Amino acid sequence: MENTNNGRREFIKTAGKAGIALGLAQTILPAFAAEDRSRFNIGFLQRPLPYEFAALEPNIDAMTMEIHYTKHAATYAKNLAEAAAAEKVDTNKTKLEDVLKNISKYSVKMRNNAGGHYNHEMFWEIMSPKADHKTAGKLNDAIVKDFGSMEAFKTQFNDAAKNRFGSGWAWLVMTNDRKLVVSSTPNQDNPLMDVAEIKGFPLMGLDVWEHAYYLKYQNKRPDYINAWWNVLDWDQIEKRYRSAIG
Ligand code: MN3
């Protein structure tokens, strides 16, 4: 009897805490800018991962996903918030893309973390456990038109990812004159930045920092690159393309 009562009291205490946690979430969420919760409009805050850490196994292992999302990417978001506060960027009124487009006017901390945050938010959204390996529609037509074939595009993209020395990203970019090109950037730079060699809208990007693959693939970056195509969500990339062409 005694034990049951204790158990019940514990339950009420726990339920009470859960209620408080729920109440907090409800008061915090509406304060987020609407853009931060919508896909294809990446804001300043880290959004929830749209799948479980283990969802992309065996291509991307659960531990890599967990550390990548909760440590590396979370740190970029935290440091971006610090840089925005220090450099008087009103994150409720300013678009992250506009900061990136003028990144040469900000600090190195802003460049590394605004880039790091944007790149990872895009990276999570273009992968999926229900990944559709086929491309169809307008993006497929555009890839065939600008690269000759899907295979030719993949080869060029893989080469960019393999040949990026040190840490960085490989990209499929839509340039301002609406041509699709492959590029790569060092560190956490991206094609939106005014400092990028090839500027435009990033339709898809692959993280080739060692933290993205080392636990599973060690020095074998090409194996990680090949596996990554298995978890690419072409529906999402197509949506990014459609949002870019308007
Ligand atoms: Mn990363």
pLDDT tens for each residue of 211-243: 999 999 999 999 999 999 999 999 999 999 999
Under a CB-based contact definition with an 8 Å cutoff, are residues 80 and 117 in contact?
A: yes
Residues 103 and 145 occupy one common structural domain: no
pLDDT tens for each residue of 136-176: 789 999 999 999 999 999 999 999 999 999 999 999 999 99
Distance 66 CA to ligand 1 centre (A): 11
Distance CA 62, CA 57 (A): 7
Distance 162 CA to ligand 1 centre (A): 16
Please tell me the predicted confidence (pLDDT) of residue 136.
Answer: 75
Distance 72 CA to ligand 1 centre (A): 6
**Distance spanning both ends of the chain, measured CA to CA:** 67
Query: Taking 50 as the threshold, does the pLDDT of residue 8 lie above it?
Result: no
Distance 52 CA to ligand 1 centre (A): 17
Distance 62 CA to ligand 1 centre (A): 14
Query: Taking 90 as the threshold, does the pLDDT of residue 3 lie above it?
Result: no
Q: What is the CATH number of the domain that holds 70?
A: 1.10.287.990
For the ranges 28-37, 89-98, 172-181, the lowest mean pLDDT is seen at 28-37
Identity at 203, one-letter amino acid code:
L
Residues 115 and 60 occupy one common structural domain: yes
Distance 164 CA to ligand 1 centre (A): 14
SS3 56: coil
Residues 13 and 120 occupy one common structural domain: yes
Residues 117 and 165 occupy one common structural domain: no
Quick one: tokens of 215? 């636990």
Quick one: tokens of 23? 């109440």
Distance 73 CA to ligand 1 centre (A): 6
Residue 202 bridge partners (DSSP): 173
Distance 120 CA to ligand 1 centre (A): 6
Long-range contacts (CB closer than 8 Å, 24 or more residues apart) made by 46-52: 46/73, 46/74, 46/77, 46/117, 46/121, 47/121, 47/124, 49/124, 50/124, 50/125, 50/128, 51/128, 51/129
Mean pLDDT of 67-72: 98
Residues 200 and 142 occupy one common structural domain: yes
Distance 202 CA to ligand 1 centre (A): 16
Distance 200 CA to ligand 1 centre (A): 21
pLDDT band, very low/low/confident/very high, at 132 (cuts 50, 70, 90): low
Q: Is the peptide bond before 202 cis (omega within 30 degrees of 0)?
A: no
Please tell me the predicted confidence (pLDDT) of residue 130.
Answer: 82
- Counted domains in the chain: 2
pTM for this one? 0.84
- Full DSSP string of 149-203: SHHHHHHHHHHHHHH--SSEEEEEEEETTS-EEEEEEETT--TTSTT-SS-EEEE
Residues 60 and 159 occupy one common structural domain: no
Distance 17 CA to ligand 1 centre (A): 34
SS3 204: strand
